[in-house]
Structure 1
């Protein structure tokens, strides 16, 4: 298992610091990223958290998946590798 987690359905007010602080309840957070729109700099409502061990990642999933944060139920799962975007799909 990977220790990098996908965190979806984040409130738009969430910051990297607030996510890092929340997930620290499950163990050591090595990185936290909230994905933002490059034009508006507004959160896209998801991000990634990397825990220091697989055990801590499992604990974070069981603790935070479905947990309410500012009125939104978090979706926490193991992050999948990003799929390559080929330029052949363009019209």
Structure 2
């Protein structure tokens, strides 16, 4: 499962502990910035019994004082072609316009959205780019040197 909206203080252990109430968790990780070690606000986990995902998805969840957003994760190789990509590791000073401009090098951008914290209005360090077709997505995802304002993004 993909777990979004995590509190910056949430750890692998607290995430695993919370979701273990639904069933045995085999793998659990909170994604962290490789340079700072700070949480990126999302993570992934795997249950021994995949059917538990259905139980988790029908409830609202709160962990470490924040409502979190669990979703069914689909392995990349099983995903259908898409026009939308998730981009993480975005510096707080990057504007939505600059974000969009950067991805225009891969194709026509229909929408560029940077996510901000609802309570504080501060950037959350990730966003979404929507292209007019799946080809630009493949071009962008095929690169491992994406940088905005000299900061690697992924």
2:148 aligned to which of 51, 69, 72: 69
Structure 2 unaligned spans of 5+: 1-80
Q: Which of 114, 117, 136 pairs up with 1:34?
A: 114
What stretches of structure 1 move > 3 A for 4+ residues in a row? none
Helix, strand or coil at the partner of 1:26:
coil
Please name the residue that 1:83 is paired with. none
SS in 1 for 2:104: helix
| Matched pairs, number | 74
Would you tell me which structure has more helix in proportion to its own residues? 1
Three-state SS of the structure 2 residue aligned to 1:25 is coil
Structure 1 length as normaliser, TM-score?
0.73
Q: Which has the higher contact order (CA 8 A, sep 6+)?
A: 1
Coordinate RMSD, CA, aligned: 1.4
1:26 Cα deviation after fit: 0.5
The residue number in structure 2 matching 1:16 is 96
Q: How far apart in 1 are the matches of 2:127 and 2:113?
A: 5
**Whose Rg is larger?**
2
Structure 1 alignment gaps of length 5 or more: 76-91
TM-score (norm 2): 0.45
- What is the CA–CA distance in structure 2 between the aligned matches of 1:39 and 1:4, rounded to whole Å? 26
Partner in structure 2 of residue 43 of structure 1: 123
Match of 1:55 among 135, 140, 150: 135
State the alpha-carbon separation in 2 of the partners of residues 27 and 71 from structure 1. Answer: 21
Q: Name the counterpart of 2:82.
A: 2
Distance apart, 1:51 and its partner CA: 0.8
